[in-house]
């Protein structure tokens, strides 16, 4: 990874695929990933790690079994480890994810939406 500054808007402008995380930086053993979302993801959990969602643009709903968390630009939420959740966005939404290196986007669910992060 580079030690140069990262322009988040430029990174987001560089791809169109939704639900495909792009690794834009590393901090110690964590990856910062940019992603564009639209529609509903899969219900999943991460047994060994928390997951931080930071909304850059649009609106993200994080569905939880006991209620939804709705986030707008500049807002973030940490899904605690082991908590089942399902991200959803009615319109295209840009986010940053903060996760330990090697975290699988679909957690324990697996399936066709599982993606290795792409270097952006």
Each domain of the chain, given as residue ranges in start order, spans 8-105
Q: Which two tokens stand for residue 19?
A: 């639900």
Is the entire prediction scored with pTM above 0.75?
yes
What does the alpha-carbon distance between residue 5 and residue 15 come to, in Å, rounded to a whole number? 19
What does the alpha-carbon distance between residue 88 and residue 94 come to, in Å, rounded to a whole number? 12
CB of 68 within 8 A of CB of 7? Answer: no
Q: Quick count: other Cβ atoms within 10 Å of Cβ 10? A: 10
- Residue 92 has a pLDDT of 98
Q: Which 8-state DSSP code applies to residue 21?
A: -
Fold topology of 8-105:
Jelly Rolls (2.60.120)
- Residue 117 has a pLDDT of 62
Q: Which two tokens stand for residue 6?
A: 């990262």
Q: Which residues of the chain have pLDDT under 50?
A: none
């Amino acid at each position: 990874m580079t030690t140069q500054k990262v322009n988040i808007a430029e990174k987001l402008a560089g791809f169109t695929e939704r639900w495909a995380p792009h690794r834009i930086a590393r901090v110690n053993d964590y990856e910062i990933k940019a992603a564009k979302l639209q529609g509903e993801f899969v219900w999943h959990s991460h047994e060994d790690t928390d997951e931080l969602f930071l909304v850059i643009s649009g609106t993200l709903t994080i569905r939880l079994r006991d209620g939804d968390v709705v986030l707008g630009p500049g807002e973030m939420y940490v899904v605690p480890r082991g908590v089942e959740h399902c991200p959803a966005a009615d319109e295209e939404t840009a986010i940053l994810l903060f996760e330990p290196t090697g975290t699988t986007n679909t957690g324990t669910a697996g399936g066709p939406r599982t993606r290795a992060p792409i270097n952006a």
